[in-house]
Amino acid sequence: MLTRIARRCLLAAAACLGLAVPAVATEAPVVAAASDLQFAVTEIAEAFRAETGHEVRLSFGSTGNFARQIREGAPFDIFMAADEQFIADLHADGFTRDAGELYAVGRVVIMVPNGSALTPDPEMNRLAEMLAAGRISRFAIANPDHAPYGMRAMEALQSRGLWHDLQPFMVLGENVSQAAQFALSGNAEGGIIAYSLALAPAVAAQGRYALIPETWHAPLRQRMALLADAGAVAEAFYAYLQSPPARRIMARYGFTLPEE
């Protein structure tokens, strides 16, 4: 199998000789994106394809797991992290071209499935009441060990004084998208998930939510970077992610946008 560098050498040689470019040399770049971006970045990628004709491949998952995979040599071209510290650490160790760009600031919500006895409110008062009454059986968040949205959910619950008492009922998703699936499964009273997921029509139809005060947790400053071996199409998509059309899509999914 050709390495990325070998592919680029093949592409350059073919161009110089006027030869047809082999399909292997024009593979779509791979974007490793935090799972809170599942709906927003899918829309952006579709808009990018419509405008440029270029495809990108999207892989959604937990930021911490992606960072580990990048260190182990995973062939990603762009990393869109849900916590900028992961980009800073990768850059310090030479895995990214530069310190990257802040592309959004995220929020968390408490969300409950339709029919749940738990009513979502910003300060989670109803959750506290039901927990005290023994009426919580399952409550979902992303795993705080490697998912930034899970870390912020934990901080919010700690701020409210509920973290310790919820432990016996906690269900951890591998990432915030899986946490949303658990929270809305009907087998849980609810959970804390990304605002961007709660705003997606497919998710919004399944339940109700309330924004948790952003002062209850550390900011979800989301940063992206090109990885060291990214090619021209990846560079173009990276630039498109910072364009007004892409930013409008991000805003529709509840992301606060950095100043231009």
Q: What would the pLDDT profile of 211-227 be if each residue is shown by its tens digit?
A: 999 999 999 999 999 99
Whole-number pLDDT of residue 231: 95
φ, ψ (nearest 5 deg) of residue 76: -90, 155
* Res. 5: pLDDT tops 80: no
Residue 113 near residue 186 (C-beta atoms within 8 A):
yes
Global confidence as pTM? 0.87
Whether the predicted pLDDT of 10 surpasses 50: no
Q: Which range among 11-15, 73-77, 198-202 shows the weakest confidence by mean pLDDT? A: 11-15
- Is 90 exceeded by the pLDDT of residue 18? no
Average pLDDT, the chain: 90
Over residues 107-131, mean pLDDT: 97
pLDDT above 50 for 9: no
pLDDT band at residue 26 using 50, 70 and 90 as cut-offs: low
Convert the pLDDT of each residue in 156-182 to its tens digit.
Answer: 999 999 999 999 999 999 999 999 999
What's the pLDDT score for residue 257? 82
8 Å CB contact between 91 and 216: no
Contacts of 24 (CB under 8 A, 6+ apart): 2, 7, 10
CA distance 44 to 34: 14
Q: pLDDT at position 67, please?
A: 98
Exposed, middle or buried, 89 (CB in 10 Å: 0-12/13-18/19+)?
middle
Phi, psi of 217 (to 5 degrees): -150, 165
Q: Which residues contact 125 (CB under 8 A, 6 or more apart)?
A: none
- Domains of the chain, start order: 4-105+220-252 (3.40.190.10), 106-216 (3.40.190.10)
pLDDT at 145 over 90: yes
Give bridge partners of residue 32 from the DSSP assignment.
59, 79
Q: What is the pLDDT of residue 12?
A: 35
